[in-house]
């Protein structure tokens, strides 16, 4: 099971010009009291079913579940992320497209300062799928120069994972001088990935 790694809620982040994202952070929402406790098992079943459908790339099942219960769009799934972030992390472009275009989810909404673009760039999925997902997110207006709680940008995540073509796609619009909370640039993250082509681009 894929989980976001490398940061906790206690991590600090700077207030530089890159520390922004235009979407609202859904992790700050307080859930309304649940008075319909009898329906809870069914809701949990739907959450698990949606999570599995995204992991399997089953678009028709995702569509069925979201049409059945619209509240699932922004509900926390098994990883603690909503559907758009899970689909982006798993690099499922067909599902990402459906969530953005049909369901109207904001591409720049954040969850604990994580964006869909960040988790797509940090994906361990096949490079081709990751690239297609990133392209799609950019087409819908994903902000490139934003940071998570560790101060990491989408470019840094892509460099760390060794996603050469994603770095190539981002490098012209991304800030190469931006640093994370440890003062490290994307170049340093590229060096750590031991990807010579990425290092040369940065």
One digit per residue, the tens of pLDDT, for the chain of length 202 reads 444 444 444 444 344 444 444 455 555 554 444 434 334 444 557 788 889 999 999 999 999 999 988 878 777 777 778 999 999 999 999 999 999 999 999 999 998 899 999 999 999 999 999 999 999 999 999 999 999 999 999 999 999 999 999 999 999 999 999 999 999 999 999 998 888 999 999 9
Provide the CATH topology of domain 37-201: 1.25.40
Other C-beta atoms within 10 Å of 61: how many? 16
Q: What pLDDT is recorded for position 45? A: 76
Three-state DSSP class for residue 114: strand
CA atoms within 13 A on the CB side of 114: 26
Q: What pLDDT is recorded for position 27? A: 53
Q: Which residue is listed with tokens 């809870």?
A: 40
Q: CA 78, CA 36: separation in Å to the nearest integer?
A: 21
Q: What pLDDT is recorded for position 22? A: 44
CB of 162 within 8 A of CB of 188? no
Q: What pLDDT is recorded for position 1? A: 43
Q: What pLDDT is recorded for position 108? A: 96
CB of 113 within 8 A of CB of 149? yes
* Phi–psi pair at 47, nearest 5 degrees: -60, -50
Task: List the domain boundaries for the chain.
Answer: 37-201
Q: Which residues contact 197 (CB under 8 A, 6 or more apart)?
A: 164
Q: What pLDDT is recorded for position 176? A: 95
Q: What pLDDT is recorded for position 166? A: 98
Q: What tokens were used for 157?
A: 């995540």
């Amino acid at each position: 099971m894929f989980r976001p790694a490398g940061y906790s809620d206690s991590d600090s982040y700077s207030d530089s010009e890159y520390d922004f994202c235009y979407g609202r952070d859904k992790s700050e929402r307080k859930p309304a009291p649940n008075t319909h406790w009898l329906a809870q098992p069914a809701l949990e079943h739907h959450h698990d079913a949606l999570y599995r459908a995204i992991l399997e790339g089953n678009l028709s099942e995702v569509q069925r579940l979201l049409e059945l219960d619209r509240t699932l769009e922004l509900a926390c799934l098994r990883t603690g992320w909503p559907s758009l972030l899970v689909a982006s992390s798993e690099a499922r472009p067909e599902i990402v497209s459906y969530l953005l275009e049909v369901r109207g989810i904001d591409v720049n909404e954040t969850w604990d300062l994580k964006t869909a673009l960040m988790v797509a760039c940090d994906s361990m999925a096949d490079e081709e799928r990751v690239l297609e997902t990133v392209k799609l997110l950019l087409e819908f207006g994903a902000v490139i120069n934003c940071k998570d709680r560790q101060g990491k940008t989408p470019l840094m995540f892509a460099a760390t994972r060794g996603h050469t073509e994603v770095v190539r796609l981002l490098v012209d619009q991304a800030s190469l001088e931006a640093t994370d909370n440890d003062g490290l640039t994307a170049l340093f993250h590229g060096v750590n990935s031991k990807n010579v082509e990425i290092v040369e681009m940065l």
